[in-house]
Amino acid sequence: MSLVHDHEQTIPKHAVTLAAMLVVTALALTTLVKVGVLSREAVPAVVRAEAHVAPAVVRQLSFTDRGDGAVVVRDVTTGETVRVLVDGVPGNGFVRGVMRGMARERHIRGVGMAPPFTLTLWKNNALSLDDKSTGRSIELGSFGPDNRAAFAALLPGGAA
């Protein structure tokens, strides 16, 4: 009795060809953007500057960890406590996650948490969070209306 057991796994040639074409296309497009043949995707801050879109509301914020795990959000200009972010409240997890990423960036660059973050509602209704100390900017509308609203609630009167 002879049992033939074959472990050979073959990938269809058309699948390999398509995968190779995808890789080549991605590399070609990347190269064309890098050398300036194709323009980059619009950068929101640049588009706003070119269109002369002014800020509608600007708030300088600090974020401080509390011993119980909550995060205290303060208006740097007035000293007012804007909000205390605790686990389990809708929207708080998103704000805390974004701020963890921003804090990580500061830590990598050797910047402490003293410089404020700038939360800006623009006249075109865009909402951005900027960290001037690292140059990082986040367009909060990119994360959907609920997550955008979590940050908008940090503006005076929940302005957005």
Global pTM?
0.71
Three-state SS across 29-74? Answer: HHHHHHCCCCCCCCCHHHHHHHCCCCEEEEEEEEEEECCCCCEEEE
What are phi and psi for residue 148, nearest 5 degrees?
-60, -45
Token duo for residue 152: 């908008």
For the chain of 160 residues, list the mean pLDDT of each consecutive stretch of 10: 68 85 86 75 77 90 90 94 88 90 92 91 93 92 91 81
What letter represents residue 127's amino acid?
Answer: L
Asked if 81 contacts 72 with a C-beta cutoff of 8 angstroms, the reply is yes
Q: Give the total residue count for the chain.
A: 160
Token duo for residue 12: 């269809």
